[in-house]
Structure 1
Amino acid sequence: MLLTWLNWIPTLIVLFLFSQLLASLIEPIFSSYYNEMIASQQRATLLSVASVLFSSSMIFLFPLVGWLVQIQTFSFGFGVVGCLMLILLLVSKTQLKF
Structure 2
Amino acid sequence: MYGIPLTICQLGIWLGTTFPLLKDTHAGGHLWNDLTGWSGDPHLSPFHLASYVAIGAGFWLIVAATWKVLHEAAQKDKLATAGLYAWVCHPQ
The answer to whether the superposition gives a TM-score over 0.5 is no
Q: Which has the higher helix share?
A: 1
Higher-Rg member (1/2): 2
Q: TM-score range by the shorter chain?
A: 0.3 to 0.5
Larger RCO (CA under 8 A, 6+ residues apart): 1
